[in-house]
Structure 1
Amino acid sequence: MAPFDLESYLTTQSSRVETMLRERLDRLGPAGAPPRLVEAMRYSLTAGGKRLRPILCLTFADAVARASLVSALAGDAASSLEYVHTYSLVHDDLPAMDDDDFRRGRPTNHKVYGEGMAILAGDALLTEAFALLADGPEPVRAALCRELAVASGAVGMVGGQVLDTAEDRPADLDYLVRMHRLKTGALIRAACRMGALAGGGDGEALARAQIYGDAVGLAFQIADDVLDVTATREQLGKPAGADAEAGRFTFPAVVGLEASRRMANEHVSLAIEAVRPLEGEGGPLAALACYAVERKS
Protein backbone atom coordinates (compact mmCIF):
# COMPACT_ATOMS: atom_id res chain seq x y z
CA MET A 1 0.00 0.00 0.00
CA ALA A 2 1.38 3.42 -0.99
CA PRO A 3 1.85 5.88 1.89
CA PHE A 4 -0.89 8.46 2.28
CA ASP A 5 -0.07 11.70 0.42
CA LEU A 6 -0.67 14.09 3.30
CA GLU A 7 0.90 17.08 1.57
CA SER A 8 -1.58 16.95 -1.31
CA TYR A 9 -4.42 16.27 1.10
CA LEU A 10 -3.56 19.29 3.27
CA THR A 11 -3.29 21.50 0.18
CA THR A 12 -6.73 20.43 -1.04
CA GLN A 13 -8.39 20.65 2.35
CA SER A 14 -6.77 23.99 3.21
CA SER A 15 -8.06 25.43 -0.05
CA ARG A 16 -11.50 24.06 0.79
CA VAL A 17 -11.38 25.73 4.21
CA GLU A 18 -10.14 29.07 2.82
CA THR A 19 -13.05 29.16 0.38
CA MET A 20 -15.54 28.38 3.15
CA LEU A 21 -14.13 31.10 5.40
CA ARG A 22 -14.16 33.76 2.67
CA GLU A 23 -17.70 32.93 1.59
CA ARG A 24 -19.07 33.16 5.12
CA LEU A 25 -17.16 36.30 6.10
CA ASP A 26 -18.27 38.05 2.90
CA ARG A 27 -21.89 37.84 4.08
CA LEU A 28 -21.26 40.28 6.94
CA GLY A 29 -20.78 43.39 4.78
CA PRO A 30 -24.13 43.19 2.99
CA ALA A 31 -25.74 42.33 6.34
CA GLY A 32 -24.65 45.73 7.70
CA ALA A 33 -21.49 45.03 9.68
CA PRO A 34 -19.11 48.07 9.90
CA PRO A 35 -16.42 47.76 7.19
CA ARG A 36 -13.54 48.44 9.60
CA LEU A 37 -14.71 45.63 11.88
CA VAL A 38 -15.00 43.17 8.97
CA GLU A 39 -11.53 44.24 7.81
CA ALA A 40 -10.04 43.53 11.24
CA MET A 41 -11.80 40.16 11.41
CA ARG A 42 -10.59 39.29 7.91
CA TYR A 43 -7.00 40.32 8.73
CA SER A 44 -6.65 37.57 11.31
CA LEU A 45 -9.09 35.00 9.91
CA THR A 46 -7.40 34.87 6.50
CA ALA A 47 -3.82 35.08 7.79
CA GLY A 48 -3.16 31.45 6.98
CA GLY A 49 -2.12 28.86 9.49
CA LYS A 50 -2.43 25.10 9.61
CA ARG A 51 -6.25 25.04 9.67
CA LEU A 52 -5.95 21.83 11.68
CA ARG A 53 -9.28 22.17 13.49
CA PRO A 54 -11.52 22.70 10.44
CA ILE A 55 -9.59 20.06 8.49
CA LEU A 56 -10.10 17.54 11.30
CA CYS A 57 -13.79 18.40 11.35
CA LEU A 58 -14.18 17.89 7.60
CA THR A 59 -12.09 14.72 7.64
CA PHE A 60 -14.19 13.13 10.36
CA ALA A 61 -17.36 14.12 8.49
CA ASP A 62 -15.99 12.48 5.37
CA ALA A 63 -14.85 9.36 7.25
CA VAL A 64 -18.21 8.84 8.92
CA ALA A 65 -20.20 9.54 5.75
CA ARG A 66 -17.88 7.30 3.69
CA ALA A 67 -18.00 9.91 0.94
CA SER A 68 -16.77 13.41 0.21
CA LEU A 69 -19.20 15.52 2.18
CA VAL A 70 -19.64 18.96 0.65
CA SER A 71 -22.55 20.33 2.67
CA ALA A 72 -23.46 23.57 4.35
CA LEU A 73 -23.63 21.74 7.67
CA ALA A 74 -20.04 20.43 7.61
CA GLY A 75 -18.79 23.73 6.18
CA ASP A 76 -20.50 25.76 8.88
CA ALA A 77 -19.10 23.48 11.59
CA ALA A 78 -15.57 23.70 10.20
CA SER A 79 -15.74 27.47 9.75
CA SER A 80 -17.13 28.06 13.23
CA LEU A 81 -14.16 26.22 14.72
CA GLU A 82 -11.70 28.44 12.88
CA TYR A 83 -13.65 31.55 13.89
CA VAL A 84 -13.31 30.58 17.56
CA HIS A 85 -9.66 29.57 17.19
CA THR A 86 -8.84 32.88 15.48
CA TYR A 87 -10.66 34.91 18.13
CA SER A 88 -8.62 33.16 20.81
CA LEU A 89 -5.37 34.05 19.04
CA VAL A 90 -6.39 37.71 18.62
CA HIS A 91 -7.17 37.97 22.34
CA ASP A 92 -4.14 35.93 23.43
CA ASP A 93 -1.86 38.38 21.62
CA LEU A 94 -3.20 41.42 23.49
CA PRO A 95 -0.97 43.26 25.99
CA ALA A 96 -3.14 42.07 28.89
CA MET A 97 -2.50 38.46 27.89
CA ASP A 98 0.65 37.28 26.05
CA ASP A 99 1.58 40.73 24.68
CA ASP A 100 2.82 39.45 21.31
CA ASP A 101 3.78 41.71 18.41
CA PHE A 102 3.78 39.05 15.68
CA ARG A 103 1.52 36.20 14.65
CA ARG A 104 2.13 33.99 11.61
CA GLY A 105 4.97 36.20 10.48
CA ARG A 106 3.16 39.54 10.51
CA PRO A 107 2.02 42.15 13.06
CA THR A 108 -0.69 41.01 15.44
CA ASN A 109 -4.20 42.39 15.11
CA HIS A 110 -3.90 44.98 17.87
CA LYS A 111 -0.66 46.30 16.36
CA VAL A 112 -2.53 47.07 13.14
CA TYR A 113 -6.03 48.03 14.32
CA GLY A 114 -5.49 49.03 17.96
CA GLU A 115 -6.39 47.20 21.14
CA GLY A 116 -10.04 48.24 21.17
CA MET A 117 -10.77 47.05 17.66
CA ALA A 118 -8.80 43.83 18.22
CA ILE A 119 -10.98 43.03 21.24
CA LEU A 120 -14.13 43.76 19.23
CA ALA A 121 -12.93 41.75 16.23
CA GLY A 122 -12.31 38.79 18.52
CA ASP A 123 -15.72 39.25 20.14
CA ALA A 124 -17.37 39.33 16.71
CA LEU A 125 -15.58 36.20 15.51
CA LEU A 126 -16.67 34.31 18.62
CA THR A 127 -20.29 35.41 18.31
CA GLU A 128 -20.53 34.88 14.56
CA ALA A 129 -19.27 31.31 15.02
CA PHE A 130 -22.55 30.45 16.74
CA ALA A 131 -24.58 32.37 14.18
CA LEU A 132 -23.06 30.11 11.52
CA LEU A 133 -23.80 26.94 13.46
CA ALA A 134 -27.40 27.92 14.22
CA ASP A 135 -28.28 29.00 10.66
CA GLY A 136 -29.92 25.95 9.13
CA PRO A 137 -32.81 23.48 9.48
CA GLU A 138 -30.84 20.42 10.61
CA PRO A 139 -31.74 19.40 14.20
CA VAL A 140 -28.12 18.37 14.87
CA ARG A 141 -27.08 22.03 14.77
CA ALA A 142 -28.15 22.40 18.41
CA ALA A 143 -25.73 19.63 19.41
CA LEU A 144 -22.99 21.26 17.33
CA CYS A 145 -23.55 24.58 19.14
CA ARG A 146 -23.27 22.83 22.49
CA GLU A 147 -20.06 21.05 21.50
CA LEU A 148 -18.44 24.32 20.46
CA ALA A 149 -19.72 26.27 23.47
CA VAL A 150 -18.45 23.74 26.02
CA ALA A 151 -15.08 23.39 24.27
CA SER A 152 -14.48 27.13 24.08
CA GLY A 153 -15.90 28.19 27.45
CA ALA A 154 -15.19 27.94 31.17
CA VAL A 155 -14.60 24.18 31.18
CA GLY A 156 -12.69 24.34 27.90
CA MET A 157 -10.38 26.80 26.19
CA VAL A 158 -11.08 29.83 28.43
CA GLY A 159 -10.71 27.75 31.57
CA GLY A 160 -7.41 26.44 30.27
CA GLN A 161 -6.18 29.96 29.63
CA VAL A 162 -7.00 30.86 33.23
CA LEU A 163 -4.95 27.90 34.45
CA ASP A 164 -2.12 28.93 32.12
CA THR A 165 -1.98 32.48 33.47
CA ALA A 166 -2.39 31.61 37.17
CA GLU A 167 0.36 33.19 39.28
CA ASP A 168 0.58 30.10 41.51
CA ARG A 169 0.78 27.67 38.61
CA PRO A 170 2.93 24.70 39.74
CA ALA A 171 5.68 22.98 37.76
CA ASP A 172 3.63 19.79 37.87
CA LEU A 173 2.89 17.33 35.04
CA ASP A 174 -0.70 16.64 36.12
CA TYR A 175 -1.45 20.36 36.19
CA LEU A 176 0.19 20.83 32.80
CA VAL A 177 -1.83 18.01 31.22
CA ARG A 178 -5.09 19.28 32.72
CA MET A 179 -4.39 22.83 31.55
CA HIS A 180 -3.62 21.83 27.97
CA ARG A 181 -6.53 19.39 27.72
CA LEU A 182 -8.66 22.49 28.31
CA LYS A 183 -6.70 25.26 26.60
CA THR A 184 -5.74 23.46 23.37
CA GLY A 185 -7.21 19.99 23.51
CA ALA A 186 -10.86 20.87 24.09
CA LEU A 187 -11.27 22.64 20.75
CA ILE A 188 -9.41 19.91 18.87
CA ARG A 189 -11.62 17.27 20.51
CA ALA A 190 -14.67 19.34 19.58
CA ALA A 191 -13.48 19.55 15.97
CA CYS A 192 -13.40 15.76 15.77
CA ARG A 193 -16.75 15.25 17.48
CA MET A 194 -18.42 18.01 15.45
CA GLY A 195 -17.20 16.39 12.24
CA ALA A 196 -18.62 13.06 13.31
CA LEU A 197 -21.92 14.73 14.19
CA ALA A 198 -22.06 16.65 10.90
CA GLY A 199 -21.41 13.43 8.99
CA GLY A 200 -24.24 11.60 10.73
CA GLY A 201 -22.03 9.46 12.95
CA ASP A 202 -23.43 7.13 15.61
CA GLY A 203 -22.43 6.82 19.26
CA GLU A 204 -19.43 4.63 18.48
CA ALA A 205 -18.13 7.13 15.92
CA LEU A 206 -18.48 9.95 18.47
CA ALA A 207 -16.64 7.93 21.11
CA ARG A 208 -13.80 7.20 18.70
CA ALA A 209 -13.69 10.86 17.67
CA GLN A 210 -13.37 11.83 21.33
CA ILE A 211 -10.50 9.40 22.01
CA TYR A 212 -8.72 10.58 18.87
CA GLY A 213 -9.32 14.27 19.63
CA ASP A 214 -8.10 13.97 23.23
CA ALA A 215 -4.95 12.18 22.11
CA VAL A 216 -4.14 14.44 19.16
CA GLY A 217 -4.93 17.56 21.18
CA LEU A 218 -2.36 16.70 23.83
CA ALA A 219 0.20 15.50 21.28
CA PHE A 220 -0.22 18.75 19.35
CA GLN A 221 0.45 20.86 22.44
CA ILE A 222 3.48 18.81 23.45
CA ALA A 223 4.83 19.29 19.93
CA ASP A 224 4.20 23.04 20.25
CA ASP A 225 6.26 23.12 23.44
CA VAL A 226 9.05 21.16 21.77
CA LEU A 227 9.04 23.50 18.77
CA ASP A 228 9.31 26.51 21.06
CA VAL A 229 12.61 25.02 22.24
CA THR A 230 13.96 23.66 18.95
CA ALA A 231 12.54 25.76 16.07
CA THR A 232 13.70 29.11 14.69
CA ARG A 233 11.75 32.36 14.55
CA GLU A 234 11.44 31.95 10.78
CA GLN A 235 9.87 28.52 11.19
CA LEU A 236 7.44 29.64 13.90
CA GLY A 237 6.48 33.04 12.46
CA LYS A 238 7.02 34.51 15.95
CA PRO A 239 9.92 34.69 18.43
CA ALA A 240 11.30 31.28 19.40
CA GLY A 241 11.82 30.47 23.07
CA ALA A 242 8.97 32.77 24.08
CA ASP A 243 7.57 30.32 26.63
CA ALA A 244 10.87 29.93 28.48
CA GLU A 245 11.48 33.69 28.40
CA ALA A 246 8.05 34.30 29.91
CA GLY A 247 8.75 31.79 32.67
CA ARG A 248 6.02 29.39 31.56
CA PHE A 249 6.22 25.74 32.53
CA THR A 250 6.21 23.58 29.40
CA PHE A 251 6.45 19.85 28.81
CA PRO A 252 10.20 20.00 28.04
CA ALA A 253 10.75 22.13 31.14
CA VAL A 254 8.81 19.75 33.38
CA VAL A 255 9.70 16.29 32.02
CA GLY A 256 12.56 16.96 29.60
CA LEU A 257 12.79 17.12 25.81
CA GLU A 258 13.10 13.41 25.02
CA ALA A 259 10.37 12.39 27.47
CA SER A 260 8.12 15.02 25.87
CA ARG A 261 8.70 13.53 22.44
CA ARG A 262 7.92 10.04 23.75
CA MET A 263 4.67 11.26 25.31
CA ALA A 264 3.61 12.88 22.07
CA ASN A 265 4.32 9.72 20.06
CA GLU A 266 2.40 7.55 22.55
CA HIS A 267 -0.67 9.74 22.12
CA VAL A 268 -0.35 9.61 18.34
CA SER A 269 -0.40 5.80 18.50
CA LEU A 270 -3.54 5.93 20.67
CA ALA A 271 -5.24 8.24 18.17
CA ILE A 272 -4.40 6.05 15.19
CA GLU A 273 -5.76 2.96 16.93
CA ALA A 274 -9.01 4.78 17.73
CA VAL A 275 -9.84 5.66 14.11
CA ARG A 276 -8.68 2.48 12.39
CA PRO A 277 -12.26 1.07 12.37
CA LEU A 278 -13.50 4.29 10.71
CA GLU A 279 -10.98 4.63 7.90
CA GLY A 280 -8.94 1.42 7.74
CA GLU A 281 -5.17 1.46 7.51
CA GLY A 282 -3.21 4.54 6.51
CA GLY A 283 -6.05 7.00 6.06
CA PRO A 284 -6.05 10.79 6.40
CA LEU A 285 -6.90 10.80 10.12
CA ALA A 286 -3.89 8.61 10.90
CA ALA A 287 -1.70 10.85 8.76
CA LEU A 288 -3.02 13.98 10.49
CA ALA A 289 -2.24 12.47 13.89
CA CYS A 290 1.36 11.93 12.82
CA TYR A 291 1.49 15.45 11.36
CA ALA A 292 0.53 16.88 14.75
CA VAL A 293 3.95 15.94 16.11
CA GLU A 294 6.09 15.86 12.96
CA ARG A 295 5.34 19.39 11.73
CA LYS A 296 8.11 22.00 11.71
CA SER A 297 6.02 25.06 12.64
Structure 2
Amino acid sequence: MNHRIKLFIGFLAFVAVVSVSSFFDVFSGVRAIFSEPAEPLPPLADDSDHDGLPDSEESYWGVDFQNPDTDSDGFLDGEEVASRHDPAIPGPGDSLVDMNLTQKVADLALGGLVEGSLKLSNANFESSVDNLTASVMDEGLASFFPNIDLSQIKTSQSIKENEDAYFQQIDVVLEKFVKALRQEADEINSKLGLIDNGGMANPKFIAYFISQKELFDSIAEEGMQIVVPADWSNEHLALIGYILQLSEVNEALAQGKDDPVRAAMGFNLFVSMLGDLPKVIESFLKN
Protein backbone atom coordinates (compact mmCIF):
# COMPACT_ATOMS: atom_id res chain seq x y z
CA MET A 1 0.00 0.00 0.00
CA ASN A 2 1.27 3.48 -0.91
CA HIS A 3 3.16 5.13 1.96
CA ARG A 4 1.38 8.46 1.37
CA ILE A 5 -1.94 6.87 2.31
CA LYS A 6 -0.52 5.77 5.65
CA LEU A 7 0.85 9.24 6.36
CA PHE A 8 -2.52 10.77 5.56
CA ILE A 9 -4.24 8.74 8.30
CA GLY A 10 -2.22 10.54 10.96
CA PHE A 11 -3.11 13.91 9.43
CA LEU A 12 -6.87 13.45 9.81
CA ALA A 13 -7.28 14.00 13.54
CA PHE A 14 -5.77 17.49 13.38
CA VAL A 15 -7.93 18.47 10.41
CA ALA A 16 -11.06 17.25 12.17
CA VAL A 17 -10.46 19.41 15.24
CA VAL A 18 -9.72 22.57 13.23
CA SER A 19 -12.64 22.02 10.85
CA VAL A 20 -15.22 21.52 13.59
CA SER A 21 -14.23 24.79 15.23
CA SER A 22 -14.40 26.75 11.97
CA PHE A 23 -17.72 25.35 10.83
CA PHE A 24 -19.59 25.91 14.05
CA ASP A 25 -18.32 29.47 14.29
CA VAL A 26 -20.46 29.99 11.18
CA PHE A 27 -23.40 27.82 12.25
CA SER A 28 -23.58 28.72 15.93
CA GLY A 29 -27.36 28.45 15.87
CA VAL A 30 -27.27 24.83 14.81
CA ARG A 31 -24.45 23.89 17.15
CA ALA A 32 -26.60 23.15 20.19
CA ILE A 33 -28.56 20.54 18.25
CA PHE A 34 -25.91 18.79 16.22
CA SER A 35 -22.49 19.16 17.86
CA GLU A 36 -23.13 16.58 20.57
CA PRO A 37 -24.16 12.93 20.13
CA ALA A 38 -27.82 12.32 20.87
CA GLU A 39 -28.51 10.59 24.16
CA PRO A 40 -30.67 7.45 24.02
CA LEU A 41 -34.27 8.40 24.63
CA PRO A 42 -36.84 6.56 26.74
CA PRO A 43 -39.78 4.92 24.95
CA LEU A 44 -42.14 7.48 23.44
CA ALA A 45 -44.94 8.24 25.87
CA ASP A 46 -47.39 9.84 23.42
CA ASP A 47 -47.85 7.20 20.72
CA SER A 48 -51.52 6.28 20.90
CA ASP A 49 -51.48 3.67 18.12
CA HIS A 50 -48.04 2.23 19.03
CA ASP A 51 -46.70 2.60 15.50
CA GLY A 52 -43.37 4.15 16.52
CA LEU A 53 -44.44 7.64 15.43
CA PRO A 54 -45.17 10.17 18.21
CA ASP A 55 -48.64 11.70 18.19
CA SER A 56 -47.02 15.13 17.78
CA GLU A 57 -45.60 14.00 14.40
CA GLU A 58 -48.75 12.29 13.12
CA SER A 59 -50.29 15.64 12.10
CA TYR A 60 -47.15 16.61 10.18
CA TRP A 61 -47.25 13.41 8.15
CA GLY A 62 -51.02 13.66 7.64
CA VAL A 63 -51.67 10.25 9.19
CA ASP A 64 -54.18 8.94 11.71
CA PHE A 65 -52.81 8.87 15.26
CA GLN A 66 -55.22 6.00 16.00
CA ASN A 67 -54.26 3.91 12.95
CA PRO A 68 -50.78 2.31 13.05
CA ASP A 69 -50.77 1.71 9.26
CA THR A 70 -52.55 4.68 7.72
CA ASP A 71 -51.85 3.80 4.08
CA SER A 72 -52.63 0.07 4.63
CA ASP A 73 -49.47 -1.11 2.88
CA GLY A 74 -48.44 -3.53 5.61
CA PHE A 75 -45.83 -1.30 7.27
CA LEU A 76 -46.28 0.69 10.49
CA ASP A 77 -46.27 4.47 10.04
CA GLY A 78 -43.17 4.78 12.24
CA GLU A 79 -41.35 2.08 10.27
CA GLU A 80 -42.02 3.92 7.02
CA VAL A 81 -40.72 7.24 8.32
CA ALA A 82 -37.60 5.54 9.72
CA SER A 83 -36.93 3.93 6.33
CA ARG A 84 -37.50 7.23 4.49
CA HIS A 85 -40.94 6.49 3.07
CA ASP A 86 -44.17 8.50 3.28
CA PRO A 87 -46.56 6.79 5.74
CA ALA A 88 -49.58 8.38 4.03
CA ILE A 89 -48.82 6.98 0.56
CA PRO A 90 -48.77 3.23 -0.27
CA GLY A 91 -45.54 1.94 -1.82
CA PRO A 92 -43.63 1.67 -4.03
CA GLY A 93 -43.85 5.36 -5.00
CA ASP A 94 -43.50 6.74 -1.48
CA SER A 95 -39.78 7.46 -1.14
CA LEU A 96 -38.72 10.51 0.90
CA VAL A 97 -35.12 10.63 -0.30
CA ASP A 98 -35.46 14.26 -1.35
CA MET A 99 -36.99 15.47 1.92
CA ASN A 100 -35.92 18.90 3.16
CA LEU A 101 -34.89 18.50 6.81
CA THR A 102 -35.02 22.22 7.54
CA GLN A 103 -38.62 22.34 6.36
CA LYS A 104 -39.40 19.27 8.43
CA VAL A 105 -38.03 20.92 11.58
CA ALA A 106 -40.24 23.94 10.94
CA ASP A 107 -43.30 21.81 10.17
CA LEU A 108 -42.80 19.58 13.19
CA ALA A 109 -42.32 22.58 15.45
CA LEU A 110 -45.49 24.18 14.10
CA GLY A 111 -47.37 20.91 14.45
CA GLY A 112 -46.13 20.55 18.01
CA LEU A 113 -47.29 24.05 18.88
CA VAL A 114 -50.74 23.41 17.43
CA GLU A 115 -51.00 20.00 19.08
CA GLY A 116 -49.64 21.39 22.35
CA SER A 117 -46.58 19.25 23.04
CA LEU A 118 -44.15 22.09 22.18
CA LYS A 119 -45.85 24.75 24.24
CA LEU A 120 -43.69 26.01 27.10
CA SER A 121 -46.58 25.39 29.47
CA ASN A 122 -46.60 21.68 28.62
CA ALA A 123 -45.19 19.58 31.48
CA ASN A 124 -43.49 17.31 28.91
CA PHE A 125 -42.00 20.18 26.89
CA GLU A 126 -38.35 19.07 27.25
CA SER A 127 -39.05 15.45 26.31
CA SER A 128 -41.10 16.65 23.32
CA VAL A 129 -38.14 18.74 22.12
CA ASP A 130 -35.84 15.74 22.62
CA ASN A 131 -38.20 13.54 20.61
CA LEU A 132 -38.36 16.05 17.78
CA THR A 133 -34.57 16.46 17.71
CA ALA A 134 -33.98 12.70 17.77
CA SER A 135 -36.50 12.15 14.99
CA VAL A 136 -34.87 14.73 12.73
CA MET A 137 -31.36 13.46 13.48
CA ASP A 138 -32.28 9.82 12.85
CA GLU A 139 -33.96 10.66 9.57
CA GLY A 140 -31.21 13.06 8.57
CA LEU A 141 -28.40 10.59 9.19
CA ALA A 142 -30.30 7.87 7.31
CA SER A 143 -30.43 10.16 4.28
CA PHE A 144 -26.63 10.03 3.99
CA PHE A 145 -26.46 6.25 3.68
CA PRO A 146 -26.22 5.34 -0.01
CA ASN A 147 -28.17 2.61 -1.72
CA ILE A 148 -25.63 0.42 -3.50
CA ASP A 149 -26.83 -1.77 -6.34
CA LEU A 150 -25.22 -5.09 -5.39
CA SER A 151 -25.91 -6.45 -8.87
CA GLN A 152 -23.18 -4.12 -10.15
CA ILE A 153 -20.53 -5.80 -8.00
CA LYS A 154 -18.82 -8.64 -9.84
CA THR A 155 -17.03 -11.25 -7.75
CA SER A 156 -14.45 -13.91 -8.49
CA GLN A 157 -12.85 -16.88 -6.76
CA SER A 158 -10.63 -16.00 -3.82
CA ILE A 159 -7.40 -17.30 -5.28
CA LYS A 160 -4.01 -15.56 -5.18
CA GLU A 161 -4.04 -14.58 -8.85
CA ASN A 162 -7.42 -12.85 -8.53
CA GLU A 163 -6.47 -11.20 -5.24
CA ASP A 164 -3.23 -9.83 -6.68
CA ALA A 165 -5.14 -8.32 -9.61
CA TYR A 166 -7.75 -6.89 -7.23
CA PHE A 167 -5.22 -5.21 -4.93
CA GLN A 168 -3.41 -3.71 -7.89
CA GLN A 169 -6.65 -2.09 -9.09
CA ILE A 170 -8.04 -1.09 -5.69
CA ASP A 171 -4.73 0.55 -4.82
CA VAL A 172 -5.26 2.96 -7.73
CA VAL A 173 -8.78 3.75 -6.50
CA LEU A 174 -7.56 4.26 -2.94
CA GLU A 175 -4.85 6.66 -4.09
CA LYS A 176 -7.38 8.76 -6.01
CA PHE A 177 -9.80 8.67 -3.09
CA VAL A 178 -7.22 9.64 -0.45
CA LYS A 179 -5.90 12.43 -2.69
CA ALA A 180 -9.43 13.83 -3.12
CA LEU A 181 -10.23 13.56 0.58
CA ARG A 182 -6.96 15.15 1.65
CA GLN A 183 -7.51 18.02 -0.76
CA GLU A 184 -10.99 18.62 0.64
CA ALA A 185 -9.74 18.37 4.22
CA ASP A 186 -7.09 20.99 3.37
CA GLU A 187 -9.51 23.31 1.59
CA ILE A 188 -12.74 23.02 3.54
CA ASN A 189 -12.02 25.81 6.02
CA SER A 190 -11.39 28.32 3.23
CA LYS A 191 -14.50 27.13 1.38
CA LEU A 192 -16.61 27.59 4.52
CA GLY A 193 -15.23 31.14 4.63
CA LEU A 194 -17.14 31.84 1.40
CA ILE A 195 -20.30 31.83 3.52
CA ASP A 196 -19.28 35.27 4.78
CA ASN A 197 -20.08 36.60 1.31
CA GLY A 198 -23.59 35.59 0.30
CA GLY A 199 -24.09 32.71 2.70
CA MET A 200 -24.43 29.19 1.31
CA ALA A 201 -25.96 30.72 -1.82
CA ASN A 202 -22.46 31.88 -2.81
CA PRO A 203 -21.95 30.40 -6.32
CA LYS A 204 -18.31 29.49 -5.58
CA PHE A 205 -19.39 27.65 -2.41
CA ILE A 206 -22.02 25.68 -4.32
CA ALA A 207 -19.74 24.94 -7.29
CA TYR A 208 -16.96 23.61 -5.06
CA PHE A 209 -19.09 21.09 -3.23
CA ILE A 210 -20.88 20.00 -6.41
CA SER A 211 -17.48 19.31 -7.99
CA GLN A 212 -16.43 17.32 -4.92
CA LYS A 213 -19.62 15.27 -5.05
CA GLU A 214 -18.99 14.47 -8.72
CA LEU A 215 -15.37 13.57 -7.96
CA PHE A 216 -16.32 11.07 -5.24
CA ASP A 217 -19.08 9.66 -7.47
CA SER A 218 -16.56 8.99 -10.23
CA ILE A 219 -14.11 7.33 -7.81
CA ALA A 220 -16.88 5.12 -6.42
CA GLU A 221 -17.95 4.20 -9.95
CA GLU A 222 -14.38 3.18 -10.80
CA GLY A 223 -14.33 1.00 -7.70
CA MET A 224 -17.63 -0.60 -8.69
CA GLN A 225 -16.09 -1.78 -11.96
CA ILE A 226 -13.40 -3.86 -10.23
CA VAL A 227 -13.92 -7.63 -10.02
CA VAL A 228 -13.77 -8.47 -6.32
CA PRO A 229 -12.54 -11.77 -4.83
CA ALA A 230 -15.46 -13.19 -2.85
CA ASP A 231 -13.56 -13.06 0.45
CA TRP A 232 -13.08 -9.30 0.01
CA SER A 233 -16.63 -8.34 -0.93
CA ASN A 234 -17.57 -6.99 2.52
CA GLU A 235 -14.50 -4.76 2.77
CA HIS A 236 -15.02 -3.59 -0.81
CA LEU A 237 -18.67 -2.66 -0.19
CA ALA A 238 -17.70 -0.82 3.00
CA LEU A 239 -15.17 1.25 1.04
CA ILE A 240 -17.62 2.05 -1.78
CA GLY A 241 -20.29 2.95 0.76
CA TYR A 242 -17.86 5.25 2.57
CA ILE A 243 -16.94 7.05 -0.66
CA LEU A 244 -20.59 7.47 -1.63
CA GLN A 245 -21.38 8.82 1.83
CA LEU A 246 -18.82 11.55 1.22
CA SER A 247 -20.60 12.26 -2.04
CA GLU A 248 -23.86 12.69 -0.09
CA VAL A 249 -22.10 14.97 2.41
CA ASN A 250 -20.85 17.23 -0.36
CA GLU A 251 -24.26 17.29 -2.00
CA ALA A 252 -25.81 18.37 1.32
CA LEU A 253 -23.32 21.22 1.61
CA ALA A 254 -23.94 22.27 -2.00
CA GLN A 255 -27.68 22.42 -1.23
CA GLY A 256 -27.16 24.23 2.07
CA LYS A 257 -28.99 27.38 1.01
CA ASP A 258 -32.18 25.32 0.69
CA ASP A 259 -31.59 22.92 3.59
CA PRO A 260 -29.11 24.32 6.15
CA VAL A 261 -30.05 21.71 8.76
CA ARG A 262 -28.99 18.83 6.50
CA ALA A 263 -25.87 20.80 5.53
CA ALA A 264 -24.92 21.12 9.19
CA MET A 265 -25.48 17.41 9.71
CA GLY A 266 -23.44 16.71 6.59
CA PHE A 267 -20.45 18.63 7.84
CA ASN A 268 -20.67 17.02 11.26
CA LEU A 269 -20.70 13.65 9.49
CA PHE A 270 -17.71 14.68 7.37
CA VAL A 271 -15.67 15.33 10.49
CA SER A 272 -16.63 12.01 12.11
CA MET A 273 -15.89 10.18 8.85
CA LEU A 274 -12.33 11.50 8.87
CA GLY A 275 -11.85 9.63 12.13
CA ASP A 276 -13.47 6.50 10.71
CA LEU A 277 -11.22 6.27 7.64
CA PRO A 278 -8.48 4.14 9.29
CA LYS A 279 -11.06 1.45 10.14
CA VAL A 280 -12.45 1.46 6.60
CA ILE A 281 -9.11 0.91 4.85
CA GLU A 282 -7.32 -0.98 7.62
CA SER A 283 -7.62 -4.31 5.81
CA PHE A 284 -6.25 -2.87 2.57
CA LEU A 285 -3.23 -1.36 4.34
CA LYS A 286 -2.05 -4.86 5.27
CA ASN A 287 -1.73 -5.89 1.63
| TM-score above 0.5, yes or no | no
> Normalised by the size of structure 1, how large is the TM-score?
0.27
Q: TM-score, normalised by structure 2?
A: 0.28
Is the helix fraction higher in 1 or 2? 1
